[in-house]
Amino acid sequence: MVTLKQLAKELNVSISTVSKALNNSEEIGEETIKRVKELAKLYNYKPNKVALSLKQNKTKTIGVIIPNILNHFMAKVLFGIEREAGLHGYNIITCISNESLNKEKEGFQLLANGSVDGFILAVAKETQIKNEIAHFKKTLGDGFPIVMFDRVAHDVQCDKVIVDDFDSTYNATKYLINEGRKNICFITTIDGLSVGKLREQGYNKAILEENNQQLLTLKIDKQEDSQEKIKEFFENNTVDGVISADNATGVISINTAISLGLKVPNDVSVIGFSSKYISSHSIPKLTIIRQHAKDMGAFAAQLLINRLKNPSLPANETTTKIVKTSFVKNGSTL
Amino acid sequence: MVTLKQLAKELNVSISTVSKALNNSEEIGEETIKRVKELAKLYNYKPNKVALSLKQNKTKTIGVIIPNILNHFMAKVLFGIEREAGLHGYNIITCISNESLNKEKEGFQLLANGSVDGFILAVAKETQIKNEIAHFKKTLGDGFPIVMFDRVAHDVQCDKVIVDDFDSTYNATKYLINEGRKNICFITTIDGLSVGKLREQGYNKAILEENNQQLLTLKIDKQEDSQEKIKEFFENNTVDGVISADNATGVISINTAISLGLKVPNDVSVIGFSSKYISSHSIPKLTIIRQHAKDMGAFAAQLLINRLKNPSLPANETTTKIVKTSFVKNGSTL
DNA sequence: TTAGCTAGTTGTTTAAGGGTTACCATAAGT
DNA sequence: ACTTATGGTAACCCTTAAACAACTAGCTAA
């Protein structure tokens, strides 16, 4: 990597002349600018990012702390973030918290030392369960803006991008009720998460509003075998409708129903919070509640970058963007 | 963020005294060291990463260029990289090439200016199709080590981590032959990729070695609907065995077979290059060729970090690590 | 005509950003 | 007078930018 110093030496001018020439300063003669630029091009000069960061006290880098990159939804949000950030000249540096509070804290430790200008994150499961928010407040207090997406800590004052989990699950449940389903169950592998709870509440409300319906819930632990649990559940309960809170148990429910000789959607109707990609892992395809993960990522990046560009924005004036889901009807519902 | 300067001022000593004290230098008295450390702790001092990077001319950051983060395999490799890098004190900064040559080049442009110490990447599809390698050579020439994983450019001299695609597909095909299958087909959505070709060749070899077998290949474009294509294919061909080259068409094949009234594995046997996660999206579960994506990521990180720590390693002495797949027998084979 | 001034043009010097470290300075102790 | 212990000074990494310097050209006034 060639530096200003080397160019300056070769051109017999001072370092700052080279710097200014490359920045098209008025103070430098046309001829000199031309000479400098030619040599710079020849050597493929690029300003050293680190030196720039130090000088300008901003890194143009966003720290992203993701609980689980193997989750398709999270990966898609990350994709959206990366893309939007790139459009604004920002890079992203990724930490994976693995749903652990400690790793989440470490992420801040590691990056809040000048490595990044701000953070985008979804709160780790353990953090949500223990309801810890001190590290968020501390990081905010240190002057790093934070944007939370999907799983947020409500008691932290920062920009947020969330899904209308409650409403969309409520509506999806209503949809099954209107199909005439009598035994609608709720299946979740994300009981510990804020979004998981909201979805359950949406289901509960819709069910409890009817007087001929009753709650029927299957909670599966991450460690357990979803296929087995669902099979067992179907065998021991009468089920003609399924709302799946996560992105896997929807297609698994369809496949299980079929393997038990049931017809989908005639005998059982299934709706899941899932992605288009996963929805095709069953025949018929799963009817899904799409979360527009890419858009969520893009919004999160926009909110953060906006704050970075306007440092005067008051810290207590925060935005919460609610990204509405779309109901995508595929073959698993009538 | 508190700086050495501020600590020095408050303690009435020079900046270098503070620096040395924090680094346990022999030159500083015990008492002073104690005072300095206490104040540093109080203010939660952390050395500014950017300043350190500038001074030491290394960023302790790895640039990762991923073709598609929505691909479960790629996400898993990224996970492995992040984890291993973290263990060695490295951060990762992620660019998503989206299978585009231009975005891949941009990734280098953006990061090879002091932002990172080296690169880990899987070659983008477009790059493989156009067989472009100039940007790799240039980056290497500029002194940035590169490690390629999975999809590699064979003509570029750098460390690589690959899968034994050929052998494992050959063996998987053999497995189906030994099951007594007579009409084994090969389904792929990754025909454009080097790994896709290798897998096809492995299948081809196994089939052509038998004189009562013949090649039967279904190539699906990313744009097309895999479910439909596979259904059509099954209806127009006699198939009793499937080798899937990607991570989705395996489970889709099982589901399609079942929906057509075939028994899996009795009537049709299926093996796919897929992950445990995806393998449970069918009943019976898909028998898979596991690629140990996390390990691949970890190996890639190790190779790169090793090179960064030993700059004297000759550039033409490169390592190619072949990560052997595991055959995981689930319900979709006998 | 020409010294001397002003203004404009073009570059250079220098400081700053935060940290490390080779080298130097000062004091006390022998 | 010479060590030894301790701490300070200054250079360096690379870039930017404010402040300053030098030179030219045009103009005025004697």
**What is the DSSP track for A134-188?**
HHHHHHHHTT--EEEESS--TTS-SEEEEE-HHHHHHHHHHHHHHTT-S-EEEEE
Query: Is B59 an 8 Å CB contact of chain A?
Result: yes
**Terminal alpha carbon distance of chain B:** 62
Query: Is B95 an 8 Å CB contact of chain A?
Result: yes
- Mean pLDDT (whole number) for B199-210: 97
CB B191 within 8 A of CB B222: no
Q: What is the mean pLDDT of chain B?
A: 95
Residue A288, SS3 per DSSP: strand
Q: What is the mean pLDDT of chain A?
A: 95
How buried is residue B157: exposed, middle or buried, by Cβ count under 10 Å (0-12/13-18/19+)?
middle
User: Looking at the predicted structure, is the pLDDT value of residue B75 above 90?
Assistant: yes
Give residue B4's pLDDT.
94
Helix axes A15-22, A30-42, angle to 10 degrees: 90
Residues 151-210 of A with CB under 8 A from B: none
- Name the closest residue (CA) to the C1' of nucleotide D12: B55
How many percent of chain B have pLDDT more than 70? Answer: 100
Verify if strand C has an atom below 7 Å from the CB of B276: no
Quote the CA–CA distance of B27 and B17 in Å, as a whole number.
9
Give residue B1's pLDDT.
85
Verify if strand C has an atom below 7 Å from the CB of B10: no
Same domain, yes or no: A121 and A79: yes
User: Looking at the predicted structure, is the pLDDT value of residue B7 above 90?
Assistant: yes
Same domain, yes or no: B31 and B85: no
Domain hosting residue A38, numbered range: 4-47
- Mean pLDDT (whole number) for B172-179: 97
**What is the DSSP track for B8-69?**
HHHHTS-HHHHHHHHTT-TTS-HHHHHHHHHHHHHTT----HHHHHHHHT--SEEEEEES-T
Give a yes or no: residue A89 inside a domain.
Answer: yes
Query: Is B105 an 8 Å CB contact of chain A?
Result: no
Same domain, yes or no: B169 and B154: no
Nearest CA in chain B to A142: B1
Q: Closest nt to B55 (CA→C1')?
A: D13
Q: Which two tokens stand for residue A306?
A: 């906006």
Give residue A106's pLDDT.
95
Same domain, yes or no: A198 and A209: yes
Query: Is B43 an 8 Å CB contact of chain A?
Result: no
Q: Closest nt to A27 (CA→C1')?
A: C10
pTM of the predicted model as reported, rounded to 2 decimal places: 0.94
Same domain, yes or no: B106 and B83: yes
Task: Find all residues with CB under 8 Å of B155, minimum gap 6, and list them.
Answer: B133
Q: If you count them, how many residues does chain B have? A: 334
Q: If you count them, how many residues does chain A have? A: 334
Query: Is A29 an 8 Å CB contact of chain B?
Result: no
Same domain, yes or no: B123 and B270: no
Same domain, yes or no: B63 and B91: yes
Give a yes or no: residue A266 inside a domain.
Answer: yes
What are the chain A neighbours of B278 within 8 Å (beta carbons)?
Answer: 281
Task: Find all residues with CB under 8 Å of B1, minimum gap 6, and list them.
Answer: A112, A113, A114, A142, A143, B46, B48
Same domain, yes or no: B113 and B224: no
Verify if strand C has an atom below 7 Å from the CB of A54: yes
Give a yes or no: residue B267 inside a domain.
Answer: yes
CATH code of the domain covering residue B308: 3.40.50.2300
Optimal mutation site among B5, B278, B280, interface A, most CBs of chain A within 10 A: B280
What are the chain A neighbours of B83 within 8 Å (beta carbons)?
Answer: 96
Task: Find all residues with CB under 8 Å of B211, minimum gap 6, and list them.
Answer: none
Query: Is A22 an 8 Å CB contact of chain B?
Result: no
Give residue A26's pLDDT.
87
Query: Is B99 an 8 Å CB contact of chain A?
Result: no
Cα–Cα distances (Å) from B200 to B213, B257, B260, in that order, read: 15, 22, 26
More confidently predicted of A63 and A223: A63
- Mean pLDDT (whole number) for B152-163: 96
Nearest CA in chain A to B279: A281
Confidence of residue A69 (pLDDT cuts 50, 70, 90): very high
Confidence of residue A70 (pLDDT cuts 50, 70, 90): very high
Same domain, yes or no: A207 and A99: no
Mark yes or no for CB contact B280/A226 under 8 Å. yes
Give a yes or no: residue B53 inside a domain.
Answer: no
Mark yes or no for CB contact A70/B75 under 8 Å. yes
Quote the CA–CA distance of B132 and B1 in Å, as a whole number.
45
The predicted-structure confidence for B88-103, as pLDDT tens digits, reads as follows: 999 999 999 999 999 9
Quote the CA–CA distance of B162 and B195 in Å, as a whole number.
9
Mark yes or no for CB contact A96/B83 under 8 Å. yes
Confidence of residue B331 (pLDDT cuts 50, 70, 90): very high
Phi-psi region of B207 (alpha: psi -120 to 50; beta: other; left: phi over 0): alpha
CB B156 within 8 A of CB B132: no
Give residue A277's pLDDT.
92
The predicted-structure confidence for B24-40, as pLDDT tens digits, reads as follows: 999 999 999 999 999 99
C1' (C1) to CA (A43) span, angstroms: 52
Give a yes or no: residue B52 inside a domain.
Answer: no
Verify if strand D has an atom below 7 Å from the CB of A318: no
C1' (D11) to CA (A85) span, angstroms: 38
Give a yes or no: residue B328 inside a domain.
Answer: no
Give a yes or no: residue A330 inside a domain.
Answer: no
Same domain, yes or no: A129 and A218: no
Number of domains in chain A: 3
- Mean pLDDT (whole number) for A60-75: 96
How many percent of chain B have pLDDT more than 90? Answer: 97
Verify if strand C has an atom below 7 Å from the CB of A24: no
Quote the CA–CA distance of B265 and B257 in Å, as a whole number.
10
Same domain, yes or no: B176 and B260: yes
- Mean pLDDT (whole number) for A67-95: 96
Q: Which of A321, A325, A315, A316 is nearest to A302 (CA)?
A: A321
Confidence of residue A27 (pLDDT cuts 50, 70, 90): confident
What are the chain B neighbours of A278 within 8 Å (beta carbons)?
Answer: 281
Same domain, yes or no: A100 and A19: no
The predicted-structure confidence for A4-26, as pLDDT tens digits, reads as follows: 999 999 999 999 999 999 999 88
Confidence of residue B108 (pLDDT cuts 50, 70, 90): very high
Give residue B258's pLDDT.
95
User: In Å, how far is B209's CA from the nearest CA of chain A?
Assistant: 33
Give a yes or no: residue B206 inside a domain.
Answer: yes
Give residue A29's pLDDT.
87
